[in-house]
Structure 1
């Protein structure tokens, strides 16, 4: 193991590809970056719709953000922190997500100092804005999905991981379908549905964020146990959900979108798969949120150990007893704070690196997630006897 650099710190490397090989702190504070009319560049934390209105997010002064906030708290059904950054209508979704833009999402995340675990990006462009032709989505959405990966990697690297939900503003529903899951960005997902028929999916982002932070990190936003969404009608583009054939909705889901749908035997609308823009271990939002929580817990447990002492063997490697103590310390915290949210946790401290020469100790954490019944197959038939 190579020697670390800089100030003492805990460095986490998040591995992917383990689920396909059958290796089996905080749950949620929401944030939003969206187009503002007056509160541009201002970061506010609100705790309810009324609180937001009192802080200037009124239907008159900030109609776009007001509608988002109202729907978020309607779905949340209670009071909870929501961090808001308003930006000018010329700032694109791509610019919001760009890691080098000090006035976009990076600004909001830095201000929150790790408190935000899931964040939305929404935009209401100026009336003169023209989308690029022959794209299923506004091309800005496609570009934002690519840009968000670098910022997601940066946040993970500084132990303040976040998952990003991007508004899937539609452009040409007859164009070739864009497939988010081919982008390879497990930090972000595209919400395709909304509560209004204007082509925007800002309302869908509000609902998804509310569902994400209302429940634990292991609970899917489409869990049937939590009932239908609090909206009377759902749309994709300018068409109601009911105007799409089931195979069309299946195609959207298989392409990697987060969308709403109806379920047989149940009233109202539900989110389908919580798809993220990748096909690896983090292809669903809950996997990302659970590993993010595990990272936060592991870092919090390991931080008190920085610059402390351990016994070493004659060859400079860590003493096996001390290594086992470290494993037990980290594992106890993980199992305590992730209780009921994962199937199991395993911690290993490698004993083959020379800690005398490098002053760097390694800790390997494996998290076995819960299983989710996304599809249920029922075999049914008549019988002559029982």
Structure 2
């Protein structure tokens, strides 16, 4: 291991593929980025719908953002910070999430200095905008899903991880179904569904964002114990949810979309599985949110240790007792901050690292997540006696 240069810092590598083994390696703060008419390029934090209106997000001045903000706070049912960035209608979703765009999402995240953990991305194109033909989704959504991975990786590398919910704007329901879970981007998910029958999905994103920040990060947005959504009608494309056969909705979910649906024996609409655009360990939003929180807590616990000293063995490797002390220091913070949100946590400080020549220590954090009852199989039959 070569010696690092530059300022002292904690770096993190997030491992995937660990759920295939028995042990797998801050709760959500939301932001909304979308098309604006007057507040273009302005970053504003609001705390409820009335506060948003007082800061210029009115029905008259900002009809598109106003609707999304209203849906968000109606679902939230209380006060909570929401940071908003409005952009011109010519800025595509792809441009919003492009890591080199100084006026895109990176601008908002840099301004927030790591406080934002999940972002909803919505767009209302200009009237002259035409979606490419023969695509289930607007091609812009597909491209944004690809582009957002680079930004997600960058944020993770600087210990300010973020997850993104992208509006699934539909171009043609009859076209071949685009499958987000083939993209390999666990940082982003595509939300299908809206209270409008125009193919948009802005209100669906607002609802998902509200559910994600309303509860702790280990709670699924479709948790049945939290009741139905506040939305009274749902469309995918120009069709009501009620006009789809169950197997058609299953196809959307299997392809990796976040959708809304009805549940037997319950009124109203619920989110289905919180799918992200990948098939690895982070195929659901809660796994990403939990690992993001673990990263933030782990870094916060490790940062005070920078430039401190440890005892070493004759070969320059860390003393086993000091390694154990470091493990307990990090583990104590993780167990405290993630209590009730994970099944177990394990921290390991490798003792074979040459501290003398590299001045670099390693800390391995493994998180065993909670299990979730996404599917329940009931066996029922008659019996002659009980």
Give the TM interval when normalised to the shorter protein.
Answer: over 0.9
Aligned to 1:370: 370
Aligned to 1:148: 148
Matched, 1:103 2:98: no
Aligned to 1:219: 219
Aligned 1:77-88 pairs, distance under 5 A? 77-88=77-88
Aligned to 2:353: 353
Aligned to 1:310: 310
Unpaired stretches in structure 2, ≥5 consecutive residues = none
State the distance in 2 between where 1:38 and 1:261 align.
35
Unpaired stretches in structure 1, ≥5 consecutive residues = none
Matched, 1:195 2:195: yes
In the alignment of these two chains, the number of paired residues is 385
SS class of match (2:263): coil
Aligned to 1:161: 161
Q: CA offsets per residue over residues 299-338 of structure 1, 9 Å max, x none?
A: 0000000001111111100011110000000000000000
Aligned 1:1-386 pairs, distance under 5 A? 1-24=1-24, 26-386=26-386
Which TM-score applies when normalising by structure 1? Answer: 0.99
State the distance in 1 between where 2:83 and 2:31 align.
5
State the distance in 2 between where 1:29 and 1:53 align.
20
CA positional deviation for 1:35: 0.2
Tell me which stretches of 4 or more aligned residues in structure 1 moved more than 4 Å.
Answer: none
State the distance in 2 between where 1:2 and 1:172 align.
53
CA positional deviation for 1:196: 1.5
CA positional deviation for 1:198: 1.5
CA positional deviation for 1:5: 2.5
State the distance in 1 between where 2:236 and 2:269 align.
13
State the distance in 1 between where 2:194 and 2:123 align.
14
Q: CA offsets per residue over residues 156-200 of structure 1, 9 Å max, x none?
A: 000000000000000000000000000000000000111211111
Q: CA offsets per residue over residues 107-159 of structure 1, 9 Å max, x none?
A: 00000000000001100000000000000000000000000000000000000
Which TM-score applies when normalising by structure 2? Answer: 0.99
CA positional deviation for 1:22: 2.9
CA positional deviation for 1:225: 0.6
State the distance in 2 between where 1:2 and 1:38 align.
51
